[in-house]
Amino acid sequence: MKNTGRLWRWLALVFVLSFGALGYLGWQIHLEAPPIPKSVATADGDVLFTGEQVQRGQQVWLAAGGQQLGSVWGHGSYVAPDWSADWLHREAVALGDRARKEMRTNTYDAQSGRITVSAARAEAIRGVAKHYADLFGDAASLDKLRDQYAMTSMTVPDAKDREALSAFFFWSSWAAATDRPGETNLSYTSNWPHEPLVGNTLTGTAAMWTMVSIILLLAGIAAMLWLQGAKGHDEEQAEPPKADPLFGATVTASMKATRKYFFAVAGLILLQIGMGAITAHYAVEGQAFFGIPLADILPYVVSRTVHTQVGIFWIATAWLATGLYIAPLLSGHEPKYQKFGVNFLFWALIFLVVGSTATGWLGTLQRRGVDFSFWFGNQGLEFTSMGRAWQYLLFVGLILWVVLLGRALWPALKKPSESRGLIAMVFLSATCIGGFYASSLTWGQHTHYSMVEYWRWWLVHLWVEGFFEVFATAVIALIFTRLGLIHTASANRAIVAETIVFLFGGILGTLHHLYWTGTPTSVIAVGAVFSALEVVPLTLIGLEALQTWRRSRSREWLGAYKWPVLCFVAVGFWNTVGAGLLGFAINPPASLYYVQGLNMTPAHGHAALFGVYGMLGIGLMLFCLRGLYARHLHADGLLKPAFWGLNIGLAMMVFLSLLPAGIYQASQAISKGLWFARSPEVVHGKFMEAMVWLRVPGDVVFAVGGVLLAVYVLKLLRRPAKAVAAQVRRPAAARA
C-alpha cells in the first residue's frame, strides 16, 4: 500500500508538471505564431489582400470542408492538395529565378502591420489567386482538376469569399517560406513543406532532435525490458478460481438499459465502413461511385467527415456504455433514477449523432455559409468537425455520464478495499474525459490557425489517445481482477505505474503534431523527446496481452470470455505495431518533415484508431453483452470469423495499400517536394490508383468481419425478454 501511495504522488507530480509545460509552450505558440498582416501591398500602395480577408478566408476554407478538403500545413485529407504547398510552388514557379530571394525575405513591418511585395511578386500572387478563384468556382477549364481533387463545382459560391480564400492560402504559404525575424533560412513553419525552389529544406534542429529521439527510444525500451524482467521474477502469477465469479451476477435495471448502446455501436460500425468505402473510391472517381454521380448528394467532404466522426462516436459510445454497465457491478449499488439517467443519456447521444450529421450534410450541400458551418454544420476540423452548438451538447452529455458513473461507484470509492485504487482510477480518468472535452470549446471563428491546431490536438491526442485509454486500461484491469486473472494488489500498482509512464510521454508528446503549424522550434525539441518516450510502454503491451491470454486458457469456464480477451490481445498487437512501430515511423521530425500529409499518416491512423481503440471498444462491448444475455444465447460461431475478418482486413488495408502508397509518396516528396507528392500526377498516377484498387480485398474482408459482428449483436436484440441473464439476490461485487 505504501508503494501504491508513492506511485499516486508521482502520478500527480507528472500530471501537474506535464500540463504546466504544455500550457507554457501553448503560450509561446501564441506569442510567436505567424503574424496576420493588416494588409499585403506593393511599395506603391496597391493592396492585394487585407488582414480581414485572411481571417475571413480561414473561415471560408473551414466552411467549405476545411481539413476534409485537402490540408493546410499538412493536416487534413489527401485527395485534394495541401493548399499551402500548392500555393507555394505555383507562386515560386511564376516568380522564376527571383523566387527564393523574394519569398524568403521577411517584409512584414510590425508597426504598420503590412507585408510589402514587389510588383513582380504581386503579379505572381494575382495569377495564383485567379487559379483558386476559378477552381473553387465553376470555371469549365478546371472541371478535370476538380474531379481529381474530389471537389464539386462552386464549392465557394461567393466571389468575395473566393478572394478571401486566396488571401488565407497566400498567408499560409507566406508563413511557410518567409524567414522568421532575426533568423536566416528558417521560416515560421520551420521550413515545412519541402520546396527546393524557395530553399525549404530540413533544418539542423529537426535533424538533431530526430537523433536524440531515436537514442531515447532505444534507451527507454532497454530500461523498460530490464524493469519488466526484474518484476517478472518477483511477481506471483494469479491462479484463476475454479468457477466464473461473475456468473449469475445481478443485472440491474440501469445495466439492462445499456444494451441499446451496444446495438447503436453495431449500427455505427456499419455506417463507418460504408462511408469509408465510398471515401476511398473517391480517390479514383472524384465525384462518382462506379459511375453513379453520388457526389451530387454525398460529396467527398461529407462522406469523409461522417467516416472520421462516426468512428469517434461508436468507439466512445462503447466505452461510455461499459462504464455505465460496470459501475453497479463493481459497487453492488443501484442509485435511484439511475436507469432513467442511462436512458436519457442514450437518446441524447442519438439526437446528437443524428442531428450533427444531418446539419453537417445539409450545410455542405446547401452551402449555408461560415456562421452556420461553425455553429451547426461542419467546422472543417478533422475528428472534431461537428458544429459548436453540438459540441456544447456533447460536453453536457459527458458531464452527465461522469455524474451517473460517480453516483454508482461512490459506495465502492468510500469502502476500503484492495480494488479501491483501480476504481478510483476509473472515476478519475472518466472525470478527465468529461472535463477535457472542454478543450474543443476553446477556439472561436477568429482564432489564429496555429492556436486552433494547438487546441484541436488537445482534444484528438489527449482526450482520445490519453484519458480514454487510461479509462479503458483501468476498466480492463478491473475485469481481469474480477475474473481472477491477475492479483488486485498487482493490478493496483501496475495501473498507476503504467499511467505514469504513458502520461509522462503522452501529454507532452502531443506536440509532435505541431512541428510545422507555425510554432517555435522548442516545440520540435520537446515533441521529439516525449513522443519517443510515448512509444516505450507500447513495446511491452503485446507481451502482457499474450501472457493474459495464456492465463485465460487455464480454466474451462474462461472460454466464455475467449473473444473479449482476444480483442484485448489484438489491442496489444496493434498498440505495438500500429501505434508504436508505424507511429514512430512518422513521429521524429526528420521523418514527419517529408511524410506529413501523405498516406503514411492514415496507415498509422487506421492501425492505431481501429486496431487499438476500436478493438478495445469491441472487446468491452463483448464482455458487457456476455453479462447482459444468458450464455447459451450467444452466437459465438459468428465471433471467430468476425474477429479475424476485422483484424486480417485491417492488416491487408494497411500493409498492402496505405503503407506502400505512403512510402511511394514519401519518395516523391523527398525528391521533388510535397506539392508533387500531393499533385494529380502522383495521386492519380498508375501506382497510386493501383494502391487504391489493392485496398479493395482488405476492405471486403474487413467489411465481412464488421457485418458478422453486427449480426452477432442483432441476434441478441431479437431474443425474447427471458433471454436476459438470470438474476440472483446479490451482485458478484457484493459477494466478493
pLDDT at 730 over 50: no
Give the chain's end-to-end CA distance (angstroms, integer): 20
Handedness of CA 488, 492, 497, 498 (dihedral sign): positive
Q: Which residues, 6 or more positions from 687, have their beta carbon under 8 angstroms from its beta carbon? A: 661, 664
pLDDT at 571 over 60: yes
Query: How much is the pLDDT for 503?
Result: 87
pLDDT at 239 over 90: no
Query: How much is the pLDDT for 234?
Result: 52
Segment among 469-478, 649-658, 660-669 with least mean pLDDT:
469-478
pLDDT at 734 over 80: no
pLDDT at 17 over 90: yes
pTM for the full predicted model: 0.92
Segment among 372-376, 383-387, 663-667, 714-718 with least mean pLDDT:
714-718
Query: How much is the pLDDT for 728?
Result: 36
pLDDT at 231 over 80: no
Q: Which residues, 6 or more positions from 229, have their beta carbon under 8 angstroms from its beta carbon? A: none
Segment among 198-202, 280-284, 648-652 with least mean pLDDT:
280-284
pLDDT at 10 over 60: yes
Q: Which of 279, 325, 268, 323 is nearest to 709 (CA)?
A: 268
Beta strands in 5-145 (DSSP E): 39-42, 47-50, 71-72, 75-76, 108-109, 114-117
pLDDT at 732 over 80: no
And the C-alpha cell for 421? 485504487
Query: How much is the pLDDT for 328?
Result: 93
H-only helix segments in 458-537: 468-483, 488-509, 521-535
Percent of the chain with pLDDT over 90: 72
Query: How much is the pLDDT for 486?
Result: 76
Read off the pLDDT of residues 159-185 as tens digits, 9 standing for 90 and up. Answer: 999 999 999 999 999 999 999 999 999
Query: How much is the pLDDT for 83?
Result: 98
Contact assessment for residue 480 and residue 59, using Cβ atoms and an 8 Å cutoff: no
384-403: burial string, b at 16+ Cβ within 10 Å, e else: bbbbbebbebbbebbebbbe
Give the model's confidence band at 735: pLDDT under 50 very low, under 70 low, under 90 confident, else very high: very low
User: Cell 478519475 belongs to which residue?
Assistant: 428
Read off the pLDDT of residues 114-170 as tens digits, 9 standing for 90 and up. Answer: 999 999 999 999 999 999 999 999 999 999 999 999 999 999 999 999 999 999 999
Q: Which of 659, 527, 542, 695 is nearest to 612 (CA)?
A: 542
Segment among 339-348, 388-397, 544-553 with least mean pLDDT:
544-553
Higher pLDDT, 239 or 731: 239
| Cα distance between residue 373 and residue 383, in whole Å | 15
pLDDT at 736 over 70: no
pLDDT at 385 over 80: yes
Query: How much is the pLDDT for 546?
Result: 63
Distances (CA, A) of 134 to 47, 77, 138, 144, 145: 21, 21, 6, 12, 11
Read off the pLDDT of residues 578-619 as tens digits, 9 standing for 90 and up. Answer: 888 899 999 999 999 999 999 999 999 999 999 989 999 999
Read off the pLDDT of residues 317-356 as tens digits, 9 standing for 90 and up. Answer: 999 999 999 999 888 889 999 999 999 999 999 999 999 9
* Mean pLDDT over each residue of the chain, to the nearest integer: 90
Give the model's confidence band at 723: pLDDT under 50 very low, under 70 low, under 90 confident, else very high: very low
